[in-house]
Structure 1
Amino acid sequence: MPAFHRLRAVFIVILSFLIVGCEISTPIQPTPTPENVTAYLGQVPPDLTPQVFAPGLVSISSAFDYAITFSPDGTDLYFTRRLDDSENQNIYEMHLVNGNWTDPTPVPFSAEHNAHEPHLTADNQTLYFGWFRPPPPGQTSTLNAGIWATDRTANSWSEPRYVGEGMFVSSDQSGQVYVTNFASGAPSLSKVTLTDGRFTDWEIITVGAHPAIAPDGSYLVYDDGNGYLRVKFHSEDGKWSASRDLTKHGIPTSASIASISPDGMYLFYVYDGDLYWVSTDLIKNLLNK
């Protein structure tokens, strides 16, 4: 099987597991209030009980919506949508314009091929994403697919550039990048070195996928491969703690593909095809237990 199809097959299996393994639930979503209606699409911020994020707008019944990222100022958001009647998946964008949010629309820069898992950097200048296409001429990849990036221009985004092998990027406020690495066969969480905009070295942290680093770099949320979201805390001496199982603290089994909001206040993840969010106090409270 060609490498490209292997990666696509792995991703489809992961999504299939998530869809089949989830229990159907319909949580009660608070009604938005007029206060601060622009932040997070005007949704009422959650506490320690996870809530569906923007039901009917971002999280819709006819699609599998996942992997959301926000600009630091909260005026742009990007997420992945796969419609139920299609194997195609695309990155969608929304923007706050004159006090109102635009409707979700597919981004133009990845239209030629399936794309997913966008991530905006803390300086708001680069958007990383996974692109199901071969690398550019002259470049090599054992996966024949991987991570690409587009850079902010005056009015839009640049032509995407190839960054390197892997899946799912996140980064902290210092610009340190983390990625899912397949170099050893099984997916692993890796801290990446960038040289001239390309991945040049991978430091493996642990087995797992979808590393979501906190903005301050203090903890890392990830999928452990067995249907659980886990967290590792990063100490000042550079060491990572033993992992903690978040399903024991209110996150459902089979939740996956997490991200942390730029302000560090909310954890996002996909469950049962919808995006959920919850206060990161759920994670921070574990430091005192």
Structure 2
Amino acid sequence: MTKASAQVSLFEPEAVWPSGSDSAPAFTPDGKTVFFTHRDDAISIMMARLRNDVWSKPQVAPFSGKWRDIEPAMAPDGSYLVFVSNRPTKAGGAPLDGYFGGRTRPGAGGNIWRVDRKGDVWGEPMRLPDVINSNSAIYSPAVAADGSIYFNQPDPVTRKSHVYRAQAKRNGFETPVALSISDGTHPGYDVAVAPDESFLVFSANRAPAAQDQSLLFVAFQRNGKWTEPQALDPHLEGIEARLSPDLKTLYFQADDATQSKTHGRIFQVPLHAYIAPH
């Protein structure tokens, strides 16, 4: 067993949290509140709080519970959170249909929504503008310190997931640009980005991944350009990567073989075990 793989562990509260699949933990800057996707009989965003070193039992987030809400991502300053939802773009409309895994997904569409935080109170979700939500297959958001948004959507030619970035501007966003970490031939998805955008971690089914396997990759930004992605070494299989607020821990979803039935749960590893400080 390698040093890095030996340090991979189940996110501690998962040992007592309800059964089902959990992913995409998004922490407030103090690390004491976490939002995450929970899939069981229903799919929603849950939240839990850390008090006296003990995580509370998860509850449905105040802005979730009605629609298929997934993939929360926290703004680095904690002032707002974004997430993906199939909720209608207009009141009274139908849930969005989506596209991923090579086929149309009825009722499993995605647009990015934002919910602002005021103290301990979370407001009403607001859909991001059409320049971001240009179709109903927008997934896996991440937020940089300047408010720029990363996400994945089907490549217009290959239809495989391709990572995009939309530069934040004063009154919205510039047109999203496809990142060079993928050319659309090999899918890339589930980006977690450092607040200063110096590096990002994402999942992909590309060499050296086996068929139908998602490995975690890293790419660094050098002089305004992204380096060629490299699989984390030693290889780490997983999806829905997230970074802790202090950038000391990498979280991801992987199958938990200790369950009587295989479920995706949240695992963690010290970030320095895979990515050298920079």
Provide TM-score, normalisation by structure 1: 0.72
Q: What are the Cα deviations for residues 200-234 of structure 1, in whole angstroms up to 9, with x where unaligned?
A: 41111124111111233221111113521111111
Matching residue of 1:234: 221
Matching residue of 2:244: 261
SS in 2 for 1:135: coil
Q: What are the Cα deviations for residues 161-192 of structure 1, in whole angstroms up to 9, with x where unaligned?
A: 10142111112333332111235232111111
Q: Does 1:162 align with 2:127?
A: yes
Conserved 8 A contact 1:66-1:275: yes
Give, in angstroms, the shift of residue 199 of structure 1. Answer: 4.9
Distance 2:248 2:68 in 1: 31
Q: Structure 1 285/123 Cα, relative in aligned 2: closer, same or farther at 3 Å?
A: closer
Q: Structure 1 274/103 Cα, relative in aligned 2: closer, same or farther at 3 Å?
A: same
Distance 1:91 1:125 in 2: 18
Give, in angstroms, the shift of residue 108 of structure 1. Answer: 2.3
Conserved 8 A contact 2:44-2:69: yes
Aligned residues: 233
Q: Does 1:57 align with 2:16?
A: yes
Distance 2:6 2:244 in 1: 15
Structure 1 segments unaligned to the other structure (5+ residues): 1-45
Structure 2 segments unaligned to the other structure (5+ residues): 99-108, 206-212, 256-263
Conserved 8 A contact 1:48-1:282: no
Matching residue of 2:111: 146
Distance 1:169 1:178 in 2: 5
Q: Does 1:188 align with 2:162?
A: yes
Q: Structure 1 243/146 Cα, relative in aligned 2: closer, same or farther at 3 Å?
A: same
Matching residue of 2:144: 172
Q: Which has the higher helix share?
A: 1
SS in 2 for 1:66: strand
Matching residue of 2:231: 245
Distance 1:187 1:200 in 2: 20
RMSD: 2.8
Give, in angstroms, the shift of residue 195 of structure 1. Answer: 5.2
Distance 2:265 2:82 in 1: 22
Distance 1:197 1:240 in 2: 27
Matching residue of 1:5: none
Q: What are the Cα deviations for residues 20-57 of structure 1, in whole angstroms up to 9, with x where unaligned?
A: xxxxxxxxxxxxxxxxxxxxxxxxxx996210102323
Q: Structure 1 81/137 Cα, relative in aligned 2: closer, same or farther at 3 Å?
A: closer
Distance 1:174 1:57 in 2: 36
Matching residue of 1:19: none
Q: 47-56 or 192-201, which moves further after superposition?
A: 192-201
Q: 130-139 or 99-108, which moves further after superposition?
A: 130-139
Q: Which amino acid aligns with 1:239?
A: K
Q: Structure 1 91/280 Cα, relative in aligned 2: closer, same or farther at 3 Å?
A: same
SS in 2 for 1:159: coil
SS in 1 for 2:276: helix
Q: Which amino acid aligns with 1:261?
A: S
Distance 1:197 1:210 in 2: 26
Q: Which has the higher strand share?
A: 2
Give, in angstroms, the shift of residue 98 of structure 1. Answer: 7.0
Distance 2:35 2:8 in 1: 20
Conserved 8 A contact 1:187-1:209: yes
Q: What are the Cα deviations for residues 33-87 of structure 1, in whole angstroms up to 9, with x where unaligned?
A: xxxxxxxxxxxxx9962101023234x5x2111111111111211111112xx2x
Q: Which amino acid aligns with 2:218?
A: V
Matching residue of 1:203: 177
1:1-289 equivalences in 2 (<5 Å): 49-54=7-12, 55-58=14-17, 60=18, 62-83=19-40, 86=41, 88-97=42-51, 101-136=55-90, 145-163=110-128, 164-165=132-133, 166-182=138-154, 184=156, 185-194=159-168, 198-205=172-179, 206=182, 207=184, 208-225=188-205, 226-235=213-222, 237-246=223-232, 248-251=233-236, 253=237, 255-272=238-255, 273-285=264-276
Q: What are the Cα deviations for residues 2-37 of structure 1, in whole angstroms up to 9, with x where unaligned?
A: xxxxxxxxxxxxxxxxxxxxxxxxxxxxxxxxxxxx
